[in-house]
Amino acid sequence: MSLLFAAACKNEQAPSPVSGGVNCDVAKITTSYALTAIQTNCTNRGCHPGGNSPAVADFSTATTLKAYINTHRSTFELRAVGSLADMPQSQGFPALSQGMKDSIACWIAHGLPDQ
């Protein structure tokens, strides 16, 4: 005599990850990180490389990026790292990830530190 046991599998949805964001109190975001992120997503895609870019939005070097943020901080925060930020918006590229926006916002909040 053989017994047949049937076990049912149940597909349960995993709990959503806790969204903690970047803790600016402890995060150490440097100019090197911010510049690399911005060059990858904003400069290398042909939008803000200097030269033929929008007149004042030259993100090709740390110096020009910092100068832009220092003189146009509210615009940069609104367009690049704010809750409604939509950059990069050309050529069908997605907006920056929330983690990247949070990291760059921390860098700005800490005064654009190099180290």
**pLDDT tens digit string along 19-32?**
457 788 888 999 99
Q: What's the pLDDT score for residue 43?
A: 62
Please tell me the pTM assigned to this model.
0.71
Q: pLDDT tens digits for 44-67? A: 555 666 566 555 688 889 999 999
Q: Any idea where the domains of the chain sit in the sequence? A: 31-109
Question: What separation in angstroms does the CA of 86 have from each of 80, 82, 95?
Answer: 7, 9, 5
- Name the nearest CA neighbour of 79 among 112, 38, 114: 38
Q: How large a percentage of the chain has pLDDT more than 70?
A: 66
